[in-house]
Amino acid sequence: AQSVTQPDIHITVSEGASLELRCNYSYGATPYLFWYVQSPGQGLQLLLKYFSGDTLVQGIKGFEAEFKRSQSSFNLRKPSVHWSDAAEYFCAVGPNTGFQKLVFGTGTRLLVSP
């Protein structure tokens, strides 16, 4: 079965500190991988995506993620967090062929302390 696990429900980071959000997936084949961010009362915004090639991908707002096939992981990182990064972050996986359908994790809520 396809699934995504985000083990951290909440994470609190001090402003200016580094951030890593964990994502592990279970998928039958090599999937496409995504990170989305959701601010309160808003839809989801795509931060970055991995399809193939270089396993370190860069996204918007200074975020990056690394695909590790051996660990079935796609962790999101940011070297210095800003207060505006406080939001809910979702990891998602989908097929690399055929119709698009994403399976999302349950999300990690990021709190940024001053």
Partner 1 sequence: DAGVTQSPTHLIKTRGQQVTLRCSPKSGHDTVSWYQQALGQGPQFIFQYYEEEERQRGNFPDRFSGHQFPNYSSELNVNALLLGDSALYLCASSPGTGNRGYTFGSGTRLTVV
Interaction site with partner 1 (CB under 8 A): 4, 32, 34, 36, 41-46, 49, 51, 90, 92, 94-107
Q: Which is nearer to partner 1, 100 or 114 (CB)?
A: 100
The CB-of-101 to partner 1 minimum distance in angstroms stands at 5
Q: Which is nearer to partner 1, 12 or 14 (CB)?
A: 12
Place of tokens 């999937």: 31
The CB-of-27 to partner 1 minimum distance in angstroms stands at 12
Q: Which is nearer to partner 1, 36 or 74 (CB)?
A: 36
Place of tokens 């962790």: 75
Q: Which is nearer to partner 1, 19 or 103 (CB)?
A: 103
Residue 71 CA from chain centroid, whole number = 15
13 touches 114 (CB < 8 A): no
Number of Cβ within 10 Å of residue 105's Cβ equals 22
Q: Which tokens belong to 36?
A: 């989305």
The CB-of-23 to partner 1 minimum distance in angstroms stands at 11
Amino acid in the structure at residue 40: P
